[in-house]
Amino acid sequence: MGDARAAETYYEQALSLVPDNAEATSYYCGFLLRTKQFERALALIDKVKADPTLQFDYYIIKGKALRELGRCEEAIPLLQEGNKLYNSDTRLLNALGYCYYRTGQKTLALDVLNASLRLNPDQPDIKKLVEEVGAK
């Protein structure tokens, strides 16, 4: 309901009750991404890795956190693995395209970003990024 501080308190309380619960950890890490707490998300997300039902969550959360921290070279293999599991997630495709662009892989960046736009053409920021990548 817009109260990130209260949400964080409740997430932390829930995790204190079930510290090894991978699903709860995944939800909390997603919250940490949304509130731009990327280092904290990275510190916790590896608890999710072993759960086969949360593999996609692991790859997208860790990849996006690394991307936001400017660590695109580390993010790319994780995002690629996530894309192998589910290749129709615009959030993942956008992060992967951005990382390709930042690492000088312009053709791959355009391929991935255009795939994202085919899935959801209503992404003005991604359209702008495609124009930027294409112009360079």
Instruction: Tokens for 25, please give them.
Output: 């950890």
DSSP states of 49-65 as a string?
TT-GGGHHHHHHHHHHH
User: Into how many domains does the chain fold?
Assistant: 2
User: For residue 126, which amino acid is it?
Assistant: I
**Same-domain status, 72 and 16:** yes
Instruction: Tokens for 112, please give them.
Output: 């991935």
Residue with tokens 């209503």: 122
pLDDT of 15 > 90? The answer is no
CA 92 to chain centre: 6
Angle between helices 106-119 and 90-102 (to 10 degrees): 160
Domain limits at 130?
Answer: 87-136
Provide the terminal-to-terminal Cα distance of the chain, rounded to the nearest Å.
41
Residue of 12 and 110 predicted with greater confidence: 110
pLDDT in tens, 76-112: 999 999 999 998 999 999 999 999 999 999 999 999 9
Using 50, 70 and 90 to split pLDDT, how confident is the model at 1?
low
What is the value of pTM for the model shown?
Answer: 0.91
**Same-domain status, 11 and 67:** yes
Q: For 2, what's the count of Cα atoms within 13 Å in the CB-facing half-sphere?
A: 0
Q: Are 8 and 29 in contact (CB under 8 A)?
A: no
**Same-domain status, 50 and 107:** no
**Same-domain status, 93 and 60:** no
